């Protein structure tokens, strides 16, 4: 009985003394070990931050054709709804009421459109000749200081955004110029036909596309010609409007065919569809397909899911989230020690976290159990038989095996 009590007392004293030794060991005399059961490697991958939105396909442009009833009496349509229309194709005919009134109207229209053509051509010329200002940067000396007395100024390249805006402006103006010239040809054709002595005038199309509306009731517009080029339109909330930018890449998944096409955001409205005090605002945006996309089988009205890439980091240094504790990680160093390291994180995707600062690709990071981790402690890990290179283990030098055994014993 006394022997049992003595044994228990001895065990308690042994444990207590060891606990006290560890507790008061400020100089690190007692070696501490950390058991690591799970660990992970820092790797390189591509990370993306994406936003999903609903969209619907529609024509990139819808051009309306009108009939001024004051000019005469409508006679007949020369196209049917759904017909393909080219510039110069005949649309409808009407009989004039008064030769001189109609001639004056068409002449004024030609003057007005000529003025538009001249204004557009002037704008194109001015923006084409405009030189984007370059920032003047003084030459830097080898020691990193400005050479104040140097006459050499190094011009930096023009900003990419400014060049892009200039290019887009020219593209839009070229489209406007083409439309204006087509309208001019249409009016010129009517005036020529009128001056030839006919009292019946045929109106030709200034647009190319498909006749999506032909109003038999002669309600204006009597004809709508929609472009055969398709794009996708959608709506953004107020918060999303601050995130989405032009040229962001988009994956367009067509619900009807379950096919996925690539495109990019091409326009975002600065004005909401409606302004209501107690309702959320919605901002229209559009997505254009990239050149070469197979859209021949698609029709206006098809619905689509849009996946917009808002941020991306290609070749990013990454780690799985369960290996990050707050803003720190536990590195398993090559000398067998654990080291706590602060990290700066970036994008997050599918349980992966970008590491901007604090870790390098190929480093090993402890994951579990966190309660065992101590900075500076020697770590031990369980033997994973599946990862042991058994072929190398048994591929030893049979001639000198006894020598290696003795060396191993002595090294202990």
Domain ranges of the chain: 31-48+314-411, 61-133+155-226
pLDDT at 168 (0 to 100): 76
CATH no. for 31-48+314-411: 2.40.420.20
44-58 b/e (C-beta count within 10 Å ≥ 16 → b):
eeebbbbbebebebb
Bond preceding residue 76 cis, omega within 30 of 0: no
User: Do the domains at 31-48+314-411 and 61-133+155-226 have one common CATH topology?
Assistant: no
User: What does the chain come to in residues?
Assistant: 412
127-170 residue pLDDT tens: 888 777 765 555 555 554 555 554 555 455 556 667 767 787 88
307-361 residue pLDDT tens: 999 999 999 999 999 999 989 999 999 888 899 999 999 999 989 999 999 999 9
pLDDT at 6 (0 to 100): 62
User: How many other C-beta atoms are found inside a 10 Å radius of the C-beta of residue 217?
Assistant: 5
Select from 185, 187, 208, 220 the least CA-distant residue to 65. 220
Backbone angles phi and psi of 112, in degrees to 5: -65, -45
- Distance, in Å, from the CA atom of 2 to the CA atom of 222, rounded to the nearest integer, reads 113
Backbone angles phi and psi of 151, in degrees to 5: -90, -5
Q: Is the dihedral of CA 52, 227, 282, 166 positive or negative?
A: positive
pLDDT at 404 (0 to 100): 60
Select from 168, 169, 172 the least CA-distant residue to 180. 172
- Distance, in Å, from the CA atom of 392 to the CA atom of 264, rounded to the nearest integer, reads 53
- Radius of gyration (C-alpha) of the chain in whole angstroms: 38
Instruction: Please give the structure tokens belonging to residue 80.
Output: 């049917």
Mean per-residue pLDDT pooled into runs of 10, the chain (412 residues):
63 62 51 80 94 94 90 92 91 90 89 92 86 61 50 54 76 85 88 83 90 92 92 95 94 91 93 89 95 88 95 93 92 90 92 93 91 84 66 59 57 46
pLDDT at 394 (0 to 100): 58
Task: Find residue 250's DSSP bridge partners.
Answer: 263, 308
- Distance, in Å, from the CA atom of 267 to the CA atom of 161, rounded to the nearest integer, reads 15
Task: Assess contact for 71 and 102: CB atoms under 8 A.
Answer: yes
- Distance, in Å, from the CA atom of 338 to the CA atom of 363, rounded to the nearest integer, reads 12
**CATH T-level fold of 61-133+155-226:** 1.20.120
Phi/psi class of residue 376: alpha, beta or left (left: φ > 0; alpha: ψ in -120 to 50)? left
pLDDT at 200 (0 to 100): 84
Indicate the pTM of the whole model: 0.66
């Amino acid at each position: 009985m006394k022997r049992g009590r003595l044994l228990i007392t001895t065990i308690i004293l042994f444990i207590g003394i060891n606990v006290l030794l560890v507790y008061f060991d400020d100089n690190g005399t007692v070696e501490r070990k950390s058991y690591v059961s799970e660990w992970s490697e820092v790797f390189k991958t591509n990370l993306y931050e994406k936003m999903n939105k609903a969209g619907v396909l529609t024509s990139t442009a819808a051009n309306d054709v009108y009939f001024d009833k004051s000019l005469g009496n409508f006679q007949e349509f020369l196209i049917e709804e759904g017909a393909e229309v080219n510039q110069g194709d005949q649309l409808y005919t009407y009989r004039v009421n008064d030769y001189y009134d109609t001639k004056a109207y068409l002449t004024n229209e030609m003057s007005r459109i000529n003025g538009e053509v001249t204004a557009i051509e002037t704008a194109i010329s001015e923006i084409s000749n405009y030189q984007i200002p370059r920032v003047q940067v003084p030459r830097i000396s080898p020691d990193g200081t400005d050479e104040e007395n140097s006459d050499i100024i190094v011009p930096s390249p023009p900003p990419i955004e400014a060049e892009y805006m200039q290019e887009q402006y020219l593209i839009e103006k070229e489209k406007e110029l083409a439309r204006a010239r087509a309208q001019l040809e249409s009016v010129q054709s009517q005036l020529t036909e009128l001056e030839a002595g006919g009292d019946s005038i045929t109106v030709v199309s200034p647009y190319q596309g498909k006749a999506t509306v032909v109003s038999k009731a002669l309600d204006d517009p009597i004809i709508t010609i929609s472009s055969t080029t398709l794009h996708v339109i959608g709506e953004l909330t107020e918060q999303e409007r601050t995130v989405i930018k032009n040229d962001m890449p988009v994956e367009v998944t067509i619900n009807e065919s379950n096919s996925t096409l690539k495109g990019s955001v091409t326009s975002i409205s600065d004005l909401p569809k409606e302004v209501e005090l107690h309702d959320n605002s919605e901002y229209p945006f559009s997505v254009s397909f990239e050149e070469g996309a197979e859209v021949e089988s698609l029709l206006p009205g098809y619905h689509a899911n849009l996946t917009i890439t808002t941020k991306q980091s290609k070749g990013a240094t990454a780690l799985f989230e369960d290996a990050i504790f707050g803003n720190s990680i536990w590195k398993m160093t090559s000398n067998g020690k654990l080291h706590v390291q602060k990290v700066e994180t970036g994008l997050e995707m599918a349980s992966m976290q970008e590491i901007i600062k604090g870790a390098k690709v190929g480093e090993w990071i402890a994951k579990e159990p966190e309660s065992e981790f101590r900075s500076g402690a020697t770590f031990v890990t369980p033997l994973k038989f599946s990862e042991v290179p058994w072929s190398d283990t048994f591929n030893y030098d049979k001639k000198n095996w006894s020598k290696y055994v003795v060396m191993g014993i002595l090294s202990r």
